[in-house]
Amino acid sequence: MIEIYYKNNAIQKYKSIDEIEYLPDNIFSIRFIDFRNSDLELISEKFDLDLTSFSKKEDIEISSHYIDSPDQLSLNFTIPSYSSSDFFVEKDISFLIKNEIVFTFLSPDIEDSLNQLTQSIYNFENTKIDTYHQLFIFQIGVISDYYADIVELISKKIRDLFQNTLK
């Protein structure tokens, strides 16, 4: 799914890249949710993005990559996500900023987790975001909160395991 956020606060959802009429002056943010690697070439062409950072994913540990070129900023994270109550898998989140538009690439489960976190912590309906800078900073803040929650959960599991081992 593709969500386009326009400067007039309108949101359009698309199932296919071909459906989109790309007018960058009116767009604030574009989110690609559950995209396929086979979509990357079409996305690159349609939105004039350099997506070479996607081909370097095996270099990314459970950390991030940052690439700053003259006309685009790319930031890739690999973050832990619960696949069961005791098992984590690594999921990718990528941000690209070009032409004052924040492009976000997410898997559906990370999208759901971040949306739940945003709704439970922030009053997003009353949060005013006027620029792509503010949107990007807000999204990084949500990811930081997500990391903090994961670290807290893991710390609790370690503490419980340690106490059970001592007994």
Q: Among candidates 81, 148, 149, which has minimal Cα distance to 111?
A: 81
- Beginning with the edge strand found earlier in the chain, give each strand of the sheet holding 2-6 in spatial order: 11-14, 2-6, 27-33, 101-106, 87-98, 72-84, 64-69
Read off the pLDDT of residues 109-121 as tens digits, 9 standing for 90 and up. Answer: 777 667 666 666 6
Domain that holds residue 80: 2-166
Q: Does the pLDDT of residue 96 top 50, yes or no? A: yes
Query: Domain total for the chain?
Result: 1
The CATH number of whichever domain residue 40 belongs to comes to 3.30.460.20
Is the pLDDT at 56 greater than 80, yes or no?
A: no
pTM score = 0.79
Relative to beta strand 64-69, strand 27-33 is unpaired
